[in-house]
Amino acid sequence: MVDTGIFATTAEVERKAGANCSATSKAEAYVNDYMTQVESFINVFTRYNWSDAFSGLNADVKGILKEIASNLAAIYVIQYDMSGFTSRVEAEDMINVLRDAALRGLSVLRDKKPQDFMINA
């Protein structure tokens, strides 16, 4: 199977989900499904279709999209099965860190002035 996500790869999501995540939830088929959902959410939340514009964006903008998408998809991977983590607290801490970074990136993309700058970069 091949990565079908636009913003991030399965390998990038796996690294963020950590060594203790479920082998099932980090399988490429699952991550592809998560990426479809995440990319759609990012586009709708920021009110701009980054997926269609992706090939024309500069590396910095692609990097922000990669960070947000891989963080959100990694949250799905972790929450699918937390039994492999040393404790539920460990898994929840990882989710909190990933969520905070995703929200920070989403706020940058949603802000109209930076968005205009990024689209025209």
**Look-up: residue for tokens 């929840």?**
92
Positive or negative: CA dihedral 79, 81, 82, 86: negative
pLDDT of 121 over the 90 cut: no
- Decide if 59 is inside a domain: yes
- Decide if 5 is inside a domain: no
User: Between 8 and 112, whose confidence is greater?
Assistant: 8
- Decide if 63 is inside a domain: yes
pLDDT of residue 2: 87
Q: How many structural domains compose the chain?
A: 1
What's the domain range around 96?
A: 10-119
pLDDT of 115 over the 90 cut: no
- Decide if 29 is inside a domain: yes
SS3 category, 53: helix
pLDDT of residue 118: 74
Task: Dump pLDDT digits (tens) for 20-58.
Answer: 999 999 999 999 999 999 999 999 999 999 999 999 999
CA 27 to chain centre: 15
- Provide the b/e sequence for 55-68 (b: ≥16 CB within 10 Å): eebeeebbebbbbb
- Decide if 70 is inside a domain: yes
- Decide if 18 is inside a domain: yes
pTM: 0.91
- Decide if 2 is inside a domain: no
